[in-house]
Amino acid sequence: MRTFPGHRLMAATFACLATIVACPTPAQADQHRDQQWYLKSLRVAEAHRITEGKGVTVAVIDSGVWAEHPDLAGAVLPGFNVLGKGDGRDDLEGHGTGIAGVIAARGRSGDRGVLGVAPAAVILPVSPAGSPLVVTKAIDWSVEHGAKVINMSFLTGNTDGLAAAIKRAADADVVLVAGSGNDDEVGSDSEYPAAYPEVIAVGAANRAGKIASFSHPGPQLDLVAPGVDVTVASSDPAKEYQRVQGTSVSSAIVSGAAALIRAKNPELSAAQVAEVLESTAIDKGAAGRDDTYGHGELDLMSALSAAASVTRRPDASAGTVPNSGSDGGESGLPVVVVVGVGVLVLAGAVVALVVGVRRGRGR
C-alpha cells in the first residue's frame, strides 16, 4: 500500500497525516458502483427510501473538493480556504474529493458513478486540513456557515485552541466525526481530532466486518465502518475514480449516516445522533465496548429506526399552566395536567440519561 498521493502535509512543528491509503489497482469507469460494496452491506438503498439527507450541510475539512466531478454536480457549495487561496472547490491532492463523494455523491443516470451515503446532502468544502491552528479556524468557519455535520478525515496535534473549537462546535449542536487513523501514521501526540470526547472516532472494517489491519485502536474509538478496498471519486479528470482504503473512508460513511439521521429527525441534538449511532452498532470483538471496535460496526438501518423513537428534551417553558389555587391543601393543577407534567419530566430524564451516557464515555 502507498500513502494517498499528496495528502501528507509537513511543517516544522507538526505533521497532518492522511488517514487513507491508496490501492495500486485503478477502478474502471464501468465498475465503480459495483465496487462500492458497502452500499449493499449497509442497506443504503433501503435507507434512501426513508431519507437521502436533504437539507443537511456537511462540512468536509480536507484538501478541498473538486466541484466539477460529474458525480458531485450540484452537491458542493462555495466553501473556504483558511489560507485565502480560493473557496475550497478545487483539490490538487484528491483526498477531499474522495471523501466528499463517499458522503454525498449523486452519481449519474443509469446507476453510473459513485453514490454517497447521503446523496441529497450538500458539501461545504473547507481547506486545508493542516496544523491545529488551521483546523481551529476551519471548524469555526464551518459552524458559522451552517454545517450540521463536520467530517475530519485527518490527524493533527492537540492544542487548547483546537480543543476549544471542538467544544464550541459541539455546543452549537454540530455532529463531529473523525477517522481514528491508520496505524503507520498515528503517534501519541497526533490522535486528534478523533481523541476529543465530543468527536465520534471511527475505525475501519473490511468486507467481512472484521477490523482492518491498519485501523488504529484505543480508548477514543467509538465505532467502525467499512474502509477497505473502496472506490471513490478522484480529482484527476483523466481517471475520475480510484480505489482506496483507510479510516478516512470509514469516517465519511459515518458522516453520511449522521446526515441521514439529521435530515429525518432534525429535532435530535448532535449528542443524541452520536448516541444513536453508537448504541445501535453491531457488537464485535469483546462483549460491549472495546478498544478495537469501539461500540461495534455501524448499522445504518438500525440507527435510522432507533432515531425515530428518540425524543428531544422538551422546552422548559412549554405547557406551563398557571396555578389557580384551592383550599384544603389540594394542588390547583387538574389531574390531567399533573400527569402530563410527570410524563414530561420522565421524558426529560430519559433524554438526559442518553446525553449523559454520550458525554460521560471514557477516553
pLDDT single digits (tens) 50-65: 999 999 999 999 999 9
Which of 19, 8, 104 lies closest to 59, judged by CA?
104
Q: Are residues 150 and 236 in the same domain?
A: yes
Instruction: Tell me if residue 346 falls in helix, strand or coil.
Output: helix
Is the same domain home to 117 and 244? yes
Q: Do 126 and 159 sit in the same domain of this protein? A: yes
288 and 317 within one domain: no
Same domain, 247 and 114: yes
Q: Is 150 helix (H, G, I), strand (E, B) or coil?
A: strand
What is the per-residue DSSP string for 267-282? TS-HHHHHHHHHHTSB
Containing domain of residue 359, as a range?
A: 313-363
What average pLDDT score do residues 182-204 get? Answer: 87
Grid cell listed for 195? 481523541
When pLDDT is cut at 50, 70 and 90, the band that residue 213 belongs to is: very high
pLDDT of residue 32: 81
Q: Catalytic annotation on 48?
A: no
Say if residues 265 and 307 touch (Cβ distance below 8 Å).
Answer: yes
Q: With bands split at pLDDT 50, 70 and 90, how would you rate the model's confidence at 177?
A: very high
Tell which of 310, 326, 350 closes a domain. 310
pLDDT for residue 311? 84
pLDDT at 111: 81
If asked whether residues 293 and 336 sit together in one domain, one would say: no
Number of Cβ within a 10 Å radius of residue 92: 14
Is 69 a known active-site residue?
A: no
pLDDT of residue 342: 43
Per-residue pLDDT at 313: 56
Mean pLDDT value across the chain: 83
Q: Both 269 and 120 in a single domain?
A: yes
**The domain boundary residue, chosen from 265, 293, 310:** 310
Question: Residue 261 corresponds to which amino acid?
Answer: I
Identify whether residues 36 and 97 lie together within a single domain: yes
Half-sphere exposure of 10 (CA within 13 A, CB side): 3
Residue of 131, 142, 215, 248 marked catalytic: 248
Tell how far CA 127 is from the center of its chain. Answer: 17
Tens-place pLDDT, residues 288-315: 999 999 999 999 999 999 999 998 755 4
**Cα dihedral value 81, 226, 197, 122, nearest 10:** 40
User: Do 140 and 84 share a structural domain?
Assistant: yes
Is residue 194 over pLDDT 90?
A: yes
- Element of type H or E holding 11: none
- What is the structure's pLDDT at 284? 97
Is the predicted pLDDT of residue 24 greater than 70, yes or no?
Answer: no
Catalytic residue among 7, 32, 69, 95: 95
Query: pLDDT per residue over 233-277, tens digit each?
Result: 999 998 899 999 999 999 999 999 999 999 999 999 999 999 999
pLDDT of residue 186: 72
* Rounded to 5°, angle at Cα 308 from 177 and 346: 100
Residues 139 and 206 in one domain: yes
Alpha-carbon gap, residue 149 to 53, rounded angstroms: 11
Q: What pLDDT score was predicted for residue 346? A: 39
Q: 85 to each of 63, 80, 129, how far by Cα in Å?
A: 12, 8, 13
- CA–CA dist 266, 283 (Å, integer): 27
Task: Write down the pTM of the prediction.
Answer: 0.82
Candidate list 62, 71, 90, 222, residue with the active-site label: 62
What φ, ψ does residue 263 adopt, rounded to 5°?
A: -70, -45
Nearest to 175 by CA among 45, 50, 25, 278: 278
Looking at the structure, tell me whether residues 103 and 82 fall in a common domain: yes
pLDDT for the residue 109 = 80
pLDDT of residue 211 exceeding 60:
yes
To the nearest 10 degrees (0 to 180), the angle between helices 247-264 and 270-279 is: 120
Q: Which tens digits make up the pLDDT trace of 127-156?
A: 999 899 999 999 999 999 999 999 999 999
Among 286, 310, 334, which residue terminates a domain? 310
Confidence category of residue 34, pLDDT binned at 50, 70, 90:
confident
Cell digits of residue 117 = 451515503
95 annotated active-site: yes
Domain count within the chain:
2
220 and 81 belong to one structural domain: yes
Q: What is the pLDDT of residue 187?
A: 66
Other beta carbons within 10 angstroms of residue 77's beta carbon come to 19
Residue 123 β-bridge partners: 58, 76
What pLDDT is recorded for position 328? 38
